[in-house]
Structure 1
Amino acid sequence: MSEQAMDPASSPLYPIREVSRLTGVNSVTLRAWERRYGLIRPQRTPKGHRLYAREDIRRVERILQWLNRGVPVSQVRDLLEQAEPTANDAPPPDISDWESQRQQLLQAVDALDNDTLEALFSRSMALYPAGLCVTELWQPVIDQLEERWSDQFGAELQRRLLESFLRTRVGIRLYHANQASRGARLLLLRLPEERDLLRLLLLALVASASGFRVEWLDTDLPLNELPLAAERFKADAVLMTSGYAERSDLIRRQLPRLAEQLEMPLCLVGPVARIRGAELENTQVATLGNELPAALSRLHGLLGR
């Protein structure tokens, strides 16, 4: 099946993989919206394969508009029957469930409760796009936890539990996504002062959901070996992340020098990009910002894809 019309006598019909590519919503989520909530009703081939019309794609885009305004997926169906949301529309009051999920996630980390972590991760990733899950749930919780962990007994245990949990779940997703993706290949690394993998794992998750093939290193790599790593991984771009300002010498001298040596873009993502962006304006280091979905969108533009 292709992007072209499946029935010349009707409007074009698209297979689920093409709808996923066009909208950024993975096929698992599209099927969940159909089966659990009746939000979309694609046609079927005689063999049962889903086919989506242009109107179905527009409906998916409307669903995303409501979800981006904090509306729980369970309440979107009624809103779809109303006028389409505009940029100035606010969601109806007291219907967002993100705050409730954030509190549940915080409690699960406090209690070292792997079962609840699994349930929250699986549910959120099945019902919402990965970028929205990270922006509304995982990143805010990790930011809050990092504030607590500065002086909390047992913080290191909580940190390592969450890191181990996300490493496994994100790793599985990356493995399968990389097999199917034909997007640009990214090499992801931490900057030296980043003490754990949490921010890197969230970046990997959103990058993969944005259509990139992702390779990442979970150990520190000497900067002088980065050009070799980028070459061997056949990277189209190198992304580095940190929640800290990092050393001035690294930002002002070492990274700009490294960017000049690489044959592909060197990009900073995360708080470090916001904190140090002004100092890198006249260098070849690209600062993509702190908000991950927007950062990956900028990267698509940078790579011209």
Structure 2
Amino acid sequence: MKTEGYSIKDLETLSGIKAHTIRIWEKRYDLLKPERTDTNIRYYTDDDLKRMLNVSLLVRNGYKISKVAAWKEADIKQTVLDVAKTKKSEEGYVDRLLLFMVNFDNVGFTALVNEIIEKYGLEEAMQNIFFALFERIGTFWQVGSIFPAQEHYITSFIRQKIIAAIDAHGITNSKEKTILFYLPEEELHELSLLFYSYLALKLGYNIIYLGQFVPFADLEKIQSHVELDFIFTAFISPIQKENLENYLEKLKELYQQQKVFITGWQVKEHAPKLPRNFKVVKDYREFKKYLG
């Protein structure tokens, strides 16, 4: 767990239950018993978080909080397992993945990821479940504030799945057009970039994949050596709106003839002013439709 414990806001973010509701459940049903620091600040433990995740899953599946709160911990866990066998909605999958993540349950997490990909396919699984998972842990491409170790664990696992899919597909280049994929300096979260490069590869495009933390000077050098048709980048880590728009303006000056795709939490958050040749990518279906 985090060394200072979890705040009630952390529990809200991870469980999807409002902080106000959690406090009511504490007082009315004695659901959780937060501890206090030497300065009298309330905090929650790993066990509190796991209990909250289990309870929130059951409540979302129709169980009454008044009954669940009175159950023994073993009964709660067993009921969660029973629900997981029968309720296989997208939200239910996210709940279960969170529980496996918290416990570093490699066997359970691996089995469930494989089940999800087999059921939905990699594209639907990424868009509707895995991206939703990152959003639930306070990320949606903006990682690290609550669960750095657990987040890195699941990101690495899903990253491996995408790379395996890329390797399995191979290179065709039937479109005879080239897309450059990269992340700006200070940007390290490449899962979305990797996923969209996989989609472009499947559609027959030539891919130049630079990955994370690419200096702008390198983009200028590549521009003078390679004929590019499209550019794709993402903005996930915190950035001021003014700085984001200034960067996009520089990018426009460099890529005046190309179409530039951008995505990421910061684009959604700031809704920056865009140059004419820029396109915000909201989801993978839109991206595939455009590239066709």
Q: TM-score, structure 1 length as denominator?
A: 0.55
* 1:240 matched to 2:238: no
Judged with a 3 Å threshold, the aligned counterparts in structure 2 of structure 1 residues 151 and 257 are, in CA distance, closer, same or farther, namely closer
Match of 1:82?
A: none
Match of 2:189 among 196, 219, 222: 196
Find the counterpart in structure 1 of residue 273 from structure 2.
279
SS at match of 1:182: coil
Post-superposition CA distance 1:81-109 (Å, at most 9, x none): xxxxxxxxxxxxx9762222222221222
Answer yes or no: is 1:110 the counterpart of 2:90. Answer: no
Tell me the distance in 1 between the aligned counterparts of 2:167 and 2:187: 24
CA distance 1:265–1:113, shift in 2 (3 Å): same
**Quick one: structure 1 residues 162 and 178, their matched pair in 2 at CA, closer, same or farther if it must change by over 3 Å?**
same
Question: 2:269 & 2:164 partners in 1: Cα distance?
Answer: 32
RMSD of aligned alpha carbons: 3.2
Match of 2:262 among 262, 268, 289: 268
How far apart in 2 are the matches of 1:181 and 1:127?
A: 28
Does the 8 A contact of 1:199 with 1:242 survive in 2? Answer: no
What secondary structure is seen at the aligned counterpart in 2 of 1:239? strand
Q: CA deviation at 1:193?
A: 5.1
1:130 is aligned to 122
Q: Which residue of 1 aligns with 2:158?
A: 166
- Taking the aligned partners of 2:130 and 2:165, their CA distance within structure 1 comes to 16
* 1:294 alignment partner in structure 2: 286
Q: Tell me whether 133-142 or 165-174 shows the greater mean CA deviation.
A: 165-174
User: Post-superposition shift, 1:142?
Assistant: 0.9
- Displacement of 1:272 in angstroms is 3.2
- How many equivalent residue pairs? 203
Q: Given the superposition, is the C-alpha separation of residues 124 and 190 from structure 1 closer, same or farther in structure 2, using an over 3 Å criterion?
A: same
Deviation at 1:144, TM superposition (A): 0.8
Distance 1:151 1:95, change over 3 A: closer
1:56 is matched with which residue?
none
Cα displacement (A) at 1:125: 2.6
Is the contact made by 2:180 and 2:228 (CA closer than 8 Å) also made in structure 1? yes
Tell me the amino acid that sits aligned with residue 263 of structure 2.
Answer: V
**Counterpart contact for 2:172–2:204, Cα < 8 Å:** no
Residue 171 of structure 1: CA displacement? Answer: 1.4
* Amino acid paired to 2:212: T
Shift of 1:241: 0.8
3-state SS in 2 of match to 1:243: coil
Q: Is the 8 A contact 1:170 1:205 kept in 2?
A: yes
List aligned pairs for 1:1-305, cutoff 5 A: 97-146=89-138, 152=146, 155-183=147-175, 184-192=177-185, 194-209=187-202, 211-229=204-222, 235-244=228-237, 246-262=239-255, 263-280=257-274, 283-298=275-290, 300=291, 305=292
Q: Is the 8 A contact 1:186 1:214 kept in 2?
A: yes
Specify the SS of the correspondent of 1:165: helix
User: Does the CA-based 8 Å contact 2:262-2:279 persist in structure 1?
Assistant: yes
CA–CA separation in structure 1 for the residues paired with 2:107 and 2:186: 31
Q: For 2:261, give the aligned amino acid.
A: C
Given the superposition, is the C-alpha separation of residues 128 and 233 from structure 1 closer, same or farther in structure 2, using an over 3 Å criterion? farther
8 Å Cα contact 1:188-1:215 kept in structure 2? yes
SS in 2 for 1:136: helix
Residue ranges of structure 1 left out of the alignment (5+ in a row):
1-93
CA deviation after TM superposition for structure 1 residue 265, in Å: 2.0
Letter in 2 for 1:287: K
TM-score by length of 2: 0.57
SS at 1:200 equivalent:
helix
For 1:223 and 1:126, how far apart are their aligned partners in 2? 39
Identity of aligned residues (%): 14
Q: Deviations over 1:223-249 (max 9, x none)?
A: 121133356665431111123563345
Contact 1:203 1:292 (8 Å CA) reproduced: yes
| Separation in structure 2 between the aligned mates of residue 232 and residue 286 of structure 1, nearest angstrom | 22
Distance 1:277 1:127, change over 3 A: same
Evaluate the alpha carbon distance shift between residue 291 and residue 234 of structure 1 in structure 2; reply closer, same or farther with a 3 A threshold.
same
Structure 1 residue 255: Cα displacement: 2.3
Q: 1:276: how far off?
A: 4.2
Give ranges in structure 2 of 5+ residues lacking alignment: 1-85
